[in-house]
A and B are shown apart, each in its own frame.
Chain A
């Protein structure tokens, strides 16, 4: 059982580290992981903006990176110095994070993992294409007083 657990933890850490590395590398502010929990597909609640990355290959699944508007605004403010970013900027920012995280994870997971181009959406879409029988691990990450979810669902 151990190897599977370790593999799971390694995969989780890859996403978590990628996100926290993004924050640390670009803003020099540390992020902190909170207590994770499980969700079923019908119970999933997302924050304002979400980037979704599909995973295929030896394991199927997906990763969401979801956060409220304020966090993306804060990031934009830090990067560019704009106080009041537009809706487009926010979507842009969410897509950027997802892109980078997906890119990093793919670089580290090796040939057996395929990662899709992220899609970004606002709010809770009507139809979320989530496979059944997948446990979703909701990992809250605190950065600069904002909360972001990294939601990991792997079969």
Chain B
């Protein structure tokens, strides 16, 4: 069964770039969110298997959003993709249940490799 992906980033360019870069990846994109509030709503509604999450976002930042997602479904694989997070923030994200972490810029190869790792662990 195809993994279902939610993309969360305040930049629509970034969201669409991720979408395009994952076109060849065996995954179904079930939605995109531009901020944390939207994201939480969509996780509740659509129960994605995988979420890519930016940290610096308006309304609700990435960490808070992550905490909410974990409350809704702790099995969700969350991949942080960010340009500006400092290390403590990154570690907090891992603490709160994120399973992957990437610094921008990311290209198609980076994404594929990261998703391979993320999903392989899940399969074990």
Interface residues in B97-124 (C-beta closer than 8 Å to A): 103-105, 107
* Contact residues in A for B14 (Cβ distance below 8 Å): 92, 96
CB distance from B20 to the nearest CB of A (A): 5
Q: Is A99 interfacial (CB-CB < 8 Å)?
A: yes
CB distance from B101 to the nearest CB of A (A): 13
B84 and A117 contacting across the interface, CB-CB below 8 Å: yes
Question: How many interface residues does B have (CB within 8 Å)?
Answer: 16
**Complex CA–CA separation, A76 to B11 (angstroms):** 12
* Contact residues in B for A80 (Cβ distance below 8 Å): 13, 16-17, 19-20
Q: Is A140 interfacial (CB-CB < 8 Å)?
A: no
**Complex CA–CA separation, A22 to B19 (angstroms):** 19
A26 and B107 contacting across the interface, CB-CB below 8 Å: yes
CB distance from A75 to the nearest CB of B (A): 8
**Complex CA–CA separation, A102 to B56 (angstroms):** 13
**Closest chain A residue, CB of each to CB of B14:** A96
Provided the pairs A80-B13, A96-B13 are in contact, do residues A107 and B103 lie with their beta carbons within 8 angstroms? yes
Interface residues in A59-111 (C-beta closer than 8 Å to B): 76, 79-82, 85, 88-89, 92-93, 95-96, 99-100, 102-104, 106-107
B20 and A81 contacting across the interface, CB-CB below 8 Å: yes
* Contact residues in B for A26 (Cβ distance below 8 Å): 105, 107
Contact flags B65-99 to A (C-beta < 8 A → 1, else 0):
00000000000000000111000000000000000
Give the 8 A-B residue pairs with the shortest CB-CB distance, closest first: A103-B83, A99-B83, A80-B16, A79-B17, A92-B13, A92-B11, A100-B104, A100-B83
Q: A26-B107, A82-B16 are in contact. List 6 more A-B contacts (CB 8 A).
A: A25-B107, A89-B12, A96-B104, A99-B56, A99-B104, A100-B83
Q: Which residues of A contact B (CB under 8 A)?
A: 21-22, 25-26, 76, 79-82, 85, 88-89, 92-93, 95-96, 99-100, 102-104, 106-107, 117
Q: Which residues of B contact A (CB under 8 A)?
A: 11-14, 16-17, 19-20, 56, 82-84, 103-105, 107
